[in-house]
Structure formats: C-alpha cells, structure tokens
C-alpha cells in the first residue's frame, strides 16, 4: 500500500456580498458562513464608498443598492452582530475611505472585546485603479497615497495580521486591460505605494511592511493565458522585491493574492452559460500550486441581469467547494512546472509587462501616468478593441454573436428571478441615521472631528484619531467632509478625448453618412451628452459610447462620473445638445433617470430624447419607457455601432 498524499489546505472561500441594510447583510453573512463559506467579503454601497452619508443629495437612489450602507459604528456593530471578529477573516472592498472603514472595524472589534492584534483580513485601499476604472476616489493622488501610507504604517505595528492594501488589478481587466497592462499597471501601483511608505517606517521594519502587501486579481475566460499571467505576476513581484527594495527573505517576497473571476464576460443572453465561464476562469487561479490564490470569490451566474439572490450565491459557493473538496487538485505539487508552452507564454507576458513598466517609470511613475491620463487612455483604447472584436465576430461569445438560437430558460422566468432591494430600505436607513445622530454626545463628536482635522492638516497619521472618531459616533460623511476640507476633491481624466479607436467597415460608414445627413437637417453637427448620474463610477460603457459617437462624427460632451441630475440637465441646456445618454450600472436607474426626465421637462427640454443604458431588468425597462425614455440599452446590446445607428435614426425621425 502507498501512503496517502497529504492534502493542502484549501484557499479562503468567499462570496462578495452586502445589500439593503446592515441587519439584512448580517443575516446573509451568517447564512453563508453556515453553508461553509470560510471568510467574508464585504460589499459597501456607493455612498459609503465615496464618503457620503445615506441622506446626502448624491446618495439619492444609491443607498443599499450595490452593497451595505455603513455610516457609523452602530451600523458596523449591527453588520457583525454574532460574528466574532477575532475569529473571522474579513475582506473589505473599500478604497478612498479605507482608513475610516478599518477604524470602524477596529472599534467594533474592541467593543466585542477583541484585541487589535487578533484581527485578520484585508482592506482593498488601492486608489490608483479607482482613477482608472472604478471611480470611487475622493481626493487627488498624493493625499490619497498619504492615507494609504497611514493605514500601512499603522497596521503592521498594531494589526500585524491585517493586509492593509490589496493592489487591485481586477477592475483594470474589467476596464479592458490586456494581460500585459494588467500586470504592469498593478505592479506600477505597488511601486508607487511602497515608494510612498518607505520613508515613513524604520528601515528595519520595511521588509515586514512589504510582506503585508497583497493583490486582488481578475481571471478571464482565456484561462491558459490567465494561468500564465498569474505565474508571471509571482515572478515579477519577486523580482521587484529583490532588485528594487532589497528584500532578502523569500517568504516576504511571496505574491499573495485573492481573486474574483471575470464579471465583464458574463452575458445577459443565455445567462446559464455563465456557470461554465465562471468555473473555467476559476481554474486559472487554482490549478497552478506555485501561483494559487489565497482567497477566491466567484460572481453569480446572473449578475448581468441584476442583483443575485442567496440561491445564486450558494451556487457559486458550491462550485468552489466541489473543486476544493471533491477533486484531487490539492494532493499534487505544481502540475505546470517543466511545461515549455507555459514557460514560453509566461516569459512573453513578462517581457510585455516590463516594457510597459519602463514607459510608466519614464513618465515619473503611476501617479504621473494617471494625471497625464496615459493609463486611462490606454484602457479606453484596449476596451474599444475588445468590443470591436466582439462586434466583428473575430472574438466569439457563445449566445451573443454566435449560436444565439436558444430555448427559454426556466432559471430566468417568473417573479423573483433576480433580487431587488426594497425601495423603503433607503428611507429606513436615513431614519436610523437621524436617530443615531440625535443620540450622540455632540461635544465628543466635535472634539473627535477637531482632532482628526488637526492630524490631517499637520501630516500626522490619521488612524488613531479616526478610531477615536468611530468610538465617538462620527459618521462616514463627517469623516470624509473633514478630509475634503483639508485635501480638497479631485476629478480624474476620462481618457476619452485622446483615445484613438477609429472603427472601420461598411456599417460604420453608413452611420457616419447618416450623421452627416441628420446634421445638415439640423443646421449644425449632431451633439450628444453622455452622462453618469449618481455615484456609479463604472464608466467603461459610457466611455465607449462617447468614443464611438465621436468616431461616428457626432460632437460629444462627456464630463466624467458622479454628476447630479441637475448638473446633467444644466449641461444639456448650456451645451445645446440633441440627445442625452445616461449610463447607470448601480441599480439606481429608476430614480435617477426619472429625475433627469422630470428636470428636462421643467427646463423646457422635453423634446430632447433621453436614452439610458445599464443593467436594467425588463420590468424596469418598461417603466422607464413609460416615463418618457426614448431608448433603453442593456448588456445584450453589445453592438455599439448599431446603437449609434439607432440613435442617429431617432434624431433623423425627429428632424424630419
């Protein structure tokens, strides 16, 4: 008899979740943990992520939609009711206000009776990619990096098992990054962060600081290339730690990462096919032992349709458990060592990534490449090429541009096929917030805010004052407003103005000819306003619409993310546009689009067509069309040139 091979311990198994309220999210977390989930991954709503309380004007329609609203320590304590934080591994997807949410977490743990040193988990805290892809930044790059540095310098001493920063390439791929760009942009970010924190900590402690930097990556459907990308990541990170920072301890140089597999490729058409996409993408990050993820969270199969139900999340959880516990994957060493094909592809990716890193370094690093819009521009161009390949059929997407014939799916029919947030939850959250504010010791809150402002103004570490503020009952909106007073706010370059993505072909030529014809009828060039109302910072779709409209010959007004309906209507009035396009991916399309329509009518612009795009369920599509929306586009409408033709056709009818 041969001795049984010892199985390696599985990765942390998580689902990314949170919705409606702290109480509802707590119920979901405890349910998922009972089903075998081994860590938590917290999704915060957009007001929380952008430093606004639930009753702020910009929070309207956004509360509890894409995550849980957490305004103060009362919310955080409810969120983790009956979940002992000293025994939990918690990942928090939070960036601009990462220092604040970590402070709330530490304060909550202290109230549970846990020591700071016992806490285990991760704050994403990667602000560079927020400027490039996700849009939940608040401050300019330099003060933002200072806040990131504060968290790192605090945690390695006070919360030594905490990962203070997840360098996040996940959203770069969602924004269209090639594997080489994903490698280079993420590694350039890690260099910018470590170069910032290095002068702040004692030289003897720097190796320990480096050892706590972790990554959060994406894995797409080209899973062999993605597997090679992960091996390239491990080797390039080891190389940077050795050559740039002189880290001698091999363990401190290890590339530690978590992953959520690709959501960009999940399709609205034949969504049941997404289950196969998810499992194949997962293989890229678990098959190779030497580049295996430390934590994995899988999207739900129906995310292109709306908010997943608990059952949908359970399906993704069971996928992980089957691979981890039923297969023999964890009984073997690295099954790709010695493969000439894998080695060749890894080297090819490393060469491309090094070349891109050298270009960024020559500009002055990641911050300079953000401020010049270089990185954003490259992502917009890469995404345009990806979409163009799908439109032309060069890149096959089953059920979308090939083999589109299908039987009706029993999984997506009937009421309750996706989860919806109760509209009352926003009003209820605001009432709880008001009651919390009324119950506080006003003098203690005022003193805590004053101490926080002094620390920020004087360049001191803000973590201890932030934890004290959390205990005093300061809200997230008050914390962020205090720092906005000190650091100001920032609007990142859109990358649209300089992006080169000329589309060729007969279809585009026909659209351009129609734009010229309609422009002649109107007496001036067709002008389109592309707007992002609310707090949704996922601007990839809006950027592609803006770039394609410009390529079609239209004049385009695109001012970036985070605009109020009033600002959008004012821009439409001042710019004299012929059509307004709204992009909303946060689920807040009904209140935001409706308000824009109402304000357009009040401003005398009711004859200007308003179109909307996003993850909009069929029932909501009917409601928006009934409210006066001229067109609705969802992920199934992948052909952007066809959308341009539809828009100019609509304008042509009205100009006749």
Report the alpha-carbon distance of residue 637 to residue 30 in Å, rounded.
38
Whether residue 12 has pLDDT greater than 50: yes
Q: Residue 114's pLDDT is what? A: 97
Rounded to the nearest 5 percent, the helix, strand and coil shares of the chain are 55, 10, 35
Q: Residue 1's pLDDT is what? A: 39
Nearest to 531 by CA among 496, 493, 568: 568
Residues whose CB falls within 8 Å of the CB of residue 159, separated by 6 or more in sequence, listed in order: 106, 116, 117, 119
Whether residue 499 has pLDDT greater than 70: no
- Asked if residue 453 lies in contact with residue 484, where contact means CB atoms within 8 angstroms, the answer is no
Report the alpha-carbon distance of residue 505 to residue 520 in Å, rounded.
23
Residues belonging to the active site? 16, 170-171, 532, 536, 538
> Considering only 246-250, 347-351, 378-382, which range has the smallest mean pLDDT?
378-382
Whether residue 494 has pLDDT greater than 60: yes
Whether residue 497 has pLDDT greater than 70: no
pLDDT tier for residue 654 given thresholds of 50, 70 and 90: confident
- Asked if residue 192 lies in contact with residue 366, where contact means CB atoms within 8 angstroms, the answer is yes
How many helices (H) and strands (E) the chain has is answered by: 25, 15
Average pLDDT over residues 326-354: 97
Tens digits of per-residue pLDDT, 516-544?
A: 999 999 999 999 999 999 998 888 889 99
Whether residue 201 has pLDDT greater than 80: yes
Q: Based on the number of CB atoms within 10 Å of its own CB, is 8 exposed (0-12), middle (13-18) or buried (19 or more)?
A: middle
Average pLDDT over residues 122-129: 96
Average pLDDT over residues 88-97: 97
Bridge pairing between strands 213-217 and 120-123: unpaired
Average pLDDT over residues 580-602: 95
Per the document, the length of the chain is: 656
Phi, psi angles (nearest 5°) of residue 206:
-65, -35
Q: Residue 263's pLDDT is what? A: 86
Output the CA torsion sign for 361, 366, 371, 374: positive
Tens digits of per-residue pLDDT, 386-415?
A: 999 999 999 999 999 999 999 988 888 766
Whether residue 147 has pLDDT greater than 70: yes
Whether residue 498 has pLDDT greater than 70: no
Q: What is the DSSP letter of 326?
A: I
> Considering only 162-166, 305-309, 476-480, which range has the smallest mean pLDDT?
305-309
Report the alpha-carbon distance of residue 29 to residue 568 in Å, rounded.
38
Tell me the percentage of the chain whose pLDDT exceeds 70: 97
Tens digits of per-residue pLDDT, 447-484?
A: 999 999 999 999 999 999 999 999 999 999 999 999 99
Q: Enter the pTM of the model.
A: 0.93
Q: Residue 504's pLDDT is what? A: 72
Q: Residue 253's pLDDT is what? A: 97
Average pLDDT over residues 158-174: 95
Domains along the sequence of the chain with CATH? 12-392 (3.20.20.240), 506-655 (3.40.50.280)
Across 383-537, the runs of DSSP E, i.e. the strands, are 527-531
Report the alpha-carbon distance of residue 212 to residue 149 in Å, rounded.
13
For the CA atoms of 403, 177, 148, 137, what is the dihedral angle to 10 degrees? Answer: -70
Across 100-237, the runs of DSSP E, i.e. the strands, are 120-123, 162-163, 165-168, 213-217
pLDDT tier for residue 500 given thresholds of 50, 70 and 90: low
Helices (H), 403-458: 424-439, 442-457
Q: How many CB atoms lie within 10 A of CB 622?
A: 12
Whether residue 275 has pLDDT greater than 70: yes
Average pLDDT, the chain: 94
Whether residue 167 has pLDDT greater than 60: yes
Whether residue 584 has pLDDT greater than 70: yes
């Amino acid at each position: 008899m041969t001795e049984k091979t010892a199985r390696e311990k599985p990765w942390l198994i998580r689902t990314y979740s949170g919705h409606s309220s702290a109480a509802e999210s707590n119920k979901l977390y405890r349910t998922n943990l009972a089903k075998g989930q081994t860590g938590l991954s917290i999704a915060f709503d957009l007001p929380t992520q952008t430093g606004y309380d639930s009753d702020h004007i910009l929070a309207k329609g956004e509360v509890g939609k894409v995550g849980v609203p957490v305004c103060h320590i009362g919310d955080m304590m409810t969120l983790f009711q009956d979940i002992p934080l000293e025994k939990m591994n918690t990942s928090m997807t939070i960036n601009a206000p990462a220092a604040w949410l970590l402070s709330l977490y530490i304060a909550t743990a202290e109230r549970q009776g846990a020591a700071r040193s016992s806490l285990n988990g991760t704050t994403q805290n990667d602000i560079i990619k927020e400027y490039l892809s996700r849009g939940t930044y608040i401050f300019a790059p330099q003060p933002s990096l200072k806040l990131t540095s504060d968290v790192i310098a605090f945690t390695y001493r006070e919360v030594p098992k905490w990962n203070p920063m997840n360098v996040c390439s996940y959203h770069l791929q969602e924004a269209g990054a090639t594997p080489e760009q994903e490698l280079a942009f993420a590694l350039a970010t890690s260099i910018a962060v470590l170069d910032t924190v290095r002068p702040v900590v004692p030289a003897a402690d720097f190796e320990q600081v480096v050892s706590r930097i972790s990554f959060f990556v994406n894995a797409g459907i080209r899973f062999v290339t993605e597997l090679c990308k992960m091996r390239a990541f491990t080797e390039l990170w080891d190389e940077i730690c050795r050559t740039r920072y002189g880290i001698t301890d091999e363990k401190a140089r290890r590339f530690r990462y978590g992953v959520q597999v690709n959501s960009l490729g999940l399709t609205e058409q034949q969504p049941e096919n997404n289950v196969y996409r998810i499992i194949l993408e997962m293989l890229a990050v678990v098959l190779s032992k030497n580049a295996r993820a430390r934590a994995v969270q899988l999207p739900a199969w129906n995310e292109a349709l709306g908010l997943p139900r608990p059952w949908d999340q359970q399906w993704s959880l069971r996928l992980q458990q089957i691979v981890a516990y039923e297969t023999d994957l964890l009984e073997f060493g690295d099954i790709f060592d010695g493969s000439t094909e894998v080695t060749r592809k890894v080297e090819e990716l490393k060469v491309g990534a090094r070349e891109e890193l050298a270009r960024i370094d020559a500009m002055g690093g990641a911050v300079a490449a953000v401020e010049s819009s270089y990185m954003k521009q490259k992502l917009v161009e890469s995404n345009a090429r990806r979409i163009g390949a799908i439109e032309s059929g060069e890149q096959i997407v089953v059920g979308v541009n090939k083999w589109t014939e299908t039987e009706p799916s029993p999984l997506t029919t009937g009421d309750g096929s996706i989860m919806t947030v109760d509209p009352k939850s926003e009003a209820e959250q605001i009432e709880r917030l008001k009651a919390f504010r009324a119950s506080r010791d006003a003098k203690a809150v005022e003193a805590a805010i004053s101490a926080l402002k002094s620390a920020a103004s004087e360049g001191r570490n803000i973590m201890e004052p932030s934890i004290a503020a959390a205990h005093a009952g300061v809200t997230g909106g008050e914390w962020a407003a205090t720092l906005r007073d000190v650091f100001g706010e920032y609007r990142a370059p859109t990358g649209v103005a300089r992006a080169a993505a000329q589309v060729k072909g007969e279809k585009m030529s026909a659209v351009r000819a129609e734009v010229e014809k309609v422009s002649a009828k109107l007496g001036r060039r067709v002008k389109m306003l592309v707007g992002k109302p609310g707090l949704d910072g996922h601007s990839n779709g809006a950027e592609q619409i803006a770039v394609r409209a410009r390529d079609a010959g239209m004049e385009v007004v695109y001012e970036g993310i985070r605009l109020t309906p009033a600002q959008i209507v004012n821009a439409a009035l001042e710019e004299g546009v012929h059509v307004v396009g709204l992009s909303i991916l946060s689920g807040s399309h009904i209140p935001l689009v409706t308000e824009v329509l109402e304000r357009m009518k009040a401003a005398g612009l009711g004859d200007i067509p308003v179109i909307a795009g996003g993850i909009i369920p069929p029932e909501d599509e009917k409601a928006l069309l009934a409210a006066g929306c001229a067109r609705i586009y969802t992920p199934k409408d992948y052909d952007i040139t066809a959308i341009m033709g539809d828009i100019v056709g609509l304008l042509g009818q009205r100009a006749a």
